[in-house]
Structure 1
Amino acid sequence: MSEQPQVGLIGLGTMGAALSLNIAEKGHFLAVYNRTGSVTDTFVQTAGDLAPRLTPTKTLENFVAAIKAPRVIILMVPAGPVVDDHIDALKPLLGPDDLIIDAGNANFYDTERRAKRAQNEKFGFIGIGVSGGESGARHGPSIMVGGTEADWARVAPMLEAISAKYDGTPCASLMGPGGAGHFVKMVHNGIEYADMQMIAEVYSLMRDGMAYKAPQVADVFENWNKGRLASYLIEISAKVARAEDPISGNAMLDVILDKAGQKGTGRWTAIEAQQLAVPVPVIEAAVAARNLSARLDTRQRGAEYFGDAQKALEGEGIAAKTLEKALIAGKILCYAQGFEMLAAAATHFGWDLPMPAIARVWREGCIIRSDMLNDMATALTNNPGDNLIFAEPFSGLLKDCEAALRDTVIAATKAGIAVPALAAGLSWFDSIRTRRTSANMIQAQRDYFGAHGFERVDGKNEPHGPWAGHED
């Protein structure tokens, strides 16, 4: 006879089913429920040796009753109103000290609201960001938790057990209260957008600027994955470049429409960065590039009207080593911006976000996992509160790779090959090391038309210019 489960999971879609099997495999008995009962039946029937650990249920009432109190109930349902609907439906069925975990891709504001609401309920609530896709959910994701210390302590053994491991260390950690976990996951996704975009840009330079065939691109990516750029995204980029279309026999990349999809989390990052007044131009450029990729008709018209922008690079093109260094620089700048955003959020929302722990949680299991993150965790530990670009080894890498990034952006611009994320990173880098920018002109303009005032370089208390009172 199976042991009565103390954990339940609602939502047996791709991620929910994978996470359920992961939980069961780590020794937990689990009640499962899906709105469509046949999905539950099929899931349990195909669970193999793990089926005895699963208790299928057909109604929410039966689901809750099947779980031993105090219960832990994991929601793996679509973000938004569906989560609220399930919480409302569960509310009358729950007992004291039961705990709801929203493990979906929730907007952190929703998680904040739900956590505050739960303070007045008999049950608890935490929100966790889960990264790693279906494979990660099944075999070990990166888990970013938002909740109280007490609730984290209660579920930490289970979450750490199912999480990815980096040299034996679980990639699961408490980020802070309320929506902190989902905020960190949101920034993770923004960095993911940027990382993917920059890889796509160097691919474009190879494909359009130097006429590389897909297998040649695969060779380059495979080589890069042995060095500083070693990461999941570079690894899979090599694999997709190497793949052949089973229908046509052509390179798989060559038959895929250049229209990038998105679920909106990168857009949330860009929007929230503006709210926090934190510049994250690499992420913003990546979001804009995805939006622009979807405008197929407009791009077609632009090519016909003005001529196709993309031309071969001058001379022999760009050496693979130069592209590699450009991508290293872009990656560092992107992550530096992401961690600056996290630091600003910590101050704004009153969260004590554990920056080194965030880097450590991202080292394995998640989409942006890379070898660089171990050095980032060390840098954030040794240089608390400082921007990554000022910490070794990243300051040295930027000095070494800056020229390659600049040469790459210049060559791409001359050839009409768009590299918006790499260019945005370079522009941010140039701006952040400019002693005197042109913002004095903006302040003069603002004072002229709106008498907004300005500060003087000599410190004198004369906040307006001689144009005061002019009206044009």
Structure 2
Amino acid sequence: MPEAEIGLIGLGVMGANLALNIAEKGNTIAVFNRTTEKTRDFYDNAGDLAERIVPCETIEDFIQAIRPPRPVIVMVKAGDPVDEQIEHLKPLLGDNDILIDAGNANFRDTMRRFETLKDTSLTFIGMGVSGGEEGARHGPSIMVGGTQDAYARVEEVLTSISAKFDGEPCCARLGTDGAGHFVKTIHNGIEYADMQMIAEVYGILRDGFAMAPKEIGKVFEKWNTGRLDSYLIEITAKVLAADDAKSGEPMVDMILDRAGQKGTGRWAVIESQMMGIPATGIEAAVAARSLSAMKEERERAEELFGLPDNRAMADEDREKVIDALEQALLAGKIGAYAQGFAVMAGASREFGWNLHMPTIAKIWRAGCIIRSVFLDEIASAFDETPDAANLIVTPKFAEMVKETDGALRHVVATATSAGLPVPALASALGYFDSYRRARGTANLIQAQRDFFGAHGFQRVDDPTDGQHGPWGGTA
């Protein structure tokens, strides 16, 4: 007699921790890994939770261990391995069984898989999971894309394992097919921007004021008790306080300045560009990571050009700059979130998902990497102004932008004068300045386009498309 309520394939770091979380919340789970030894080790190390884990050494035994209709979580590497696993499972699964891809999938792959399986007896769910290893083990933020019927079958298990904020589960069905994975992609894009801006602030304090890591860590620790209270600020303080056991030096100073990326940030940028919705903070962060990878080129460039003089920063009052940095980081954060939510709103319209912005903000309040008190304010802002075109024009955030604009402007100007790179903070400033200017400079661009390509334009006194200027005989 099948005893498991749900199954999980793939006992890597995320899969193993998610399985333990599922078992710990009182659910019986069947587990399978291609490497049998890994399944045995996982079970042997599960402790008291082993009584709710059914280890399976063959895929056939795994399927038989789950009570129909069977929900099967697939936690394997994104891309072709997911398709291969689905093809392997299809002949073994029965009517209404549910395949759940919980990896970092490209949402377009999820939409394709959903479409491929929709006329079969199987159901597909694309599920974004955020929170890293710790979140998977003790409570992640879960973003689900799939049918309402499929979600209803797994809702109890998923809400039980998700993070909780004031007792509310950080788990929701957000729409059909790729909705969950798309929201997770934008979550990661915002995460890129947030991390980059934090790194830029660290760079100003390190290179502009020659502050030591522990001293900078104290600044972030203080900020974490105020409006910047968030997981990323919290761990930044802890990272900067840590020492390397091998050298005795600050750990952060022993780490090569070459940042990795797995693709979700790039996907967020690509999709924002495809929809024509600016996400300049995410773009700047992705570009900064790519530039960081060019370590040897950067070393040669420094030999050639040297570094700019830091006198512009030396003339500043350090404590006043630190206060301004706190406000500037808040302003930059507002810009990144505003852009991310605008991209999700655009995708909701394009793909017919009907994404509910307050719900997304609420399920990000705990468990996920970008969790912060800030998200409660975003949820409230969208609840109060559901038709707002952009987060920054909601009453609460409009006031926050006005409060922090001067600090962001001062920080970007001072850092730039001192030759300290702040691409993401500068992009936030450029975004604000462009968004709030009713008369921009694109009129000149339209004139140029018409001059060399007869693309036409609209006049300020006549909205008819396809009008031409008095150049090149196109008028």
Q: TM-score range by the shorter chain?
A: over 0.9
Alpha-carbon distance in structure 1 between the residues aligned to 2:245 and 2:36: 35
Aligned twin of 1:363: 365
Matched, 1:450 2:440: no
Q: Deviations over 1:235-274 (max 9, x none)?
A: 0000000000101111111111100011010010001110
Check whether the contact 1:115–1:125 (CA below 8 A) recurs between aligned residues. yes
CA distance in structure 2 between the aligned counterparts of 1:191 and 1:323, rounded to whole angstroms: 19
- Kept in 2, the 8 Å contact 1:141–1:365? The answer is yes
**TM-score when scaled to structure 1?**
0.98
Query: Where do 1:323-338 residues align within 5 Å?
Result: 323-338=325-340
Output one character per residue of 1:435-465: Cα deviation in whole Å (capped at 9) or x when no partner: 2111111111111111111111121768111
Aligned letter for 2:459? R
Deviation at 1:154, TM superposition (A): 1.4
Q: CA deviation at 1:317?
A: 4.9
CA distance in 2, matches of 1:394, 1:320: 22
Stretch of structure 1 that moved more, 139-148 or 48-57: 48-57
Query: C-alpha offsets along residues 338-387 of structure 1, whole Å, 9 cap, x if unaligned?
Result: 00001110111111001100000000000000001001001011111311
Structure 1 runs (4+) deviating above 4 angstroms are: none
Aligned equivalent of 1:435, options 434, 438, 450: 438
> What residue number does 1:426 align with?
429
Distance in structure 2 (CA, Å) of the matches to 1:321 and 1:167: 31
2:405 to 402, 407, 410: 402
The answer as to whether partners of 1:205 and 1:417 remain within 8 angstroms in 2 is yes
Amino acid at match of 1:134: E
The 1:459/1:99 distance shift into structure 2, 3 A limit, reads same
> In the aligned structure 2, how far is the partner of 1:67 from the partner of 1:3?
5
Task: Report the alpha carbon displacement of residue 309 of structure 1 after superposing the two structures with TM.
Answer: 3.9
Contact 1:6–1:70 (8 Å) recurs in 2: no
User: What does 1:344-355 correspond to in 2, within 5 Å?
Assistant: 344-355=346-357
CA contact (8 A) 1:209 1:310 kept: no
Deviation at residue 406 of structure 1 after TM alignment: 0.4
Which SS does the other structure have where 2:221 is aligned?
A: helix
Offset of residue 393 of structure 1: 2.2
SS at match of 1:51: helix
Cα contact 1:34–1:40 (8 A) shared by 2: yes
| 2:380 equivalent in structure 1 | 378
Q: 1 CA distance for matches of 2:258 and 2:54?
A: 41
Q: 2:2 touches 2:66 (CA, 8 Å); kept in 1?
A: no
Partner of 2:473: 469
Q: Which moved more, 1:156-165 or 1:379-388?
A: 379-388
The aligned counterpart of 1:13 is: 12
Following the alignment from structure 1 to structure 2, what is the Cα–Cα distance between the partners of residues 304 and 210? 22
Alignment map for 1:240-389 (pairs within 5 Å): 240-309=239-308, 311=310, 313-318=313-318, 319-386=321-388, 387-389=390-392
Counterpart in 2 of 1:121?
120
Shift in alpha-carbon separation, 1:217–1:310, aligned structure 2, 3 A? farther
Residues 94 and 459 of structure 1: CA distance in aligned 2, closer, same or farther (over 3 Å): same
Q: Match for 2:316: what amino acid?
A: E
> Are positions 1:179 and 2:182 aligned together?
no
Question: Matches of 2:463 and 2:251 in 1, distance apart?
Answer: 65
C-alpha change, 1:211 and 1:116, in structure 2 (3 Å) is same
Q: Is the 8 A contact 1:209 1:317 kept in 2?
A: no
Amino acid at match of 1:315: D
Deviations 1:401-439 (A, max 9, x none): 101000000011001000000000000100011121111
Worse-superposed segment, 49-58 or 279-288:
49-58
Q: Distance in 2 between matches of 1:361 and 1:341?
A: 18
Relative to 1, partners in 2 of residues 1:152 and 1:310: Cα closer, same or farther, differing over 3 Å? farther
Q: Could you say if the C-alpha distance between residues 166 and 282 of structure 1 is closer, same or farther in structure 2, counting changes exceeding 3 Å?
A: same
SS for the counterpart of 2:143 is strand
Rounded Cα–Cα distance in structure 2 between residues aligned with 1:460 and 1:38: 69
> Which residue identity does 2:380 align to in structure 1?
T
Q: How far 1:308 sits from its partner (Å)?
A: 2.1
Distance 1:67 1:436 in 2: 62
Tell me how many residue pairs correspond in the alignment.
Answer: 469
Q: Please state how far the C-alpha of 1:310 moved relative to its aligned partner.
A: 6.8
Tell me by how many angstroms 1:3 deviates.
7.4
Change (3 A) 1:440 1:18: same
Shift of 1:337: 0.5
TM-superposed deviation, 1:397: 1.2
What code does the residue aligned with 2:353 have? W
Amino acid at match of 2:450: D
SS state at 1:393 partner: helix
What SS class does the counterpart of residue 272 from structure 2 fall into?
Answer: helix
Cα deviation for residue 301 of structure 1 reads 1.1
Tell me the amino acid that sits aligned with residue 340 of structure 1. Answer: A
**Change beyond 3 A, Cα 1:31–1:122:** same
For residues 127 and 346 of structure 2, the distance between their equivalents in structure 1, rounded to whole angstroms, comes to 20
CA contact (8 A) 1:232 1:370 kept: yes
User: How far apart in 1 are the matches of 2:67 and 2:155?
Assistant: 18
What is the Cα-based RMSD across aligned positions, in Å? 1.3
Tell me the equivalent position of 2:395. 392
Please tell me the residue identity of whatever aligns with 1:210.
Answer: F
Per the normalisation by structure 2, the TM-score is 0.97
Q: Secondary structure at the match of 2:125?
A: strand
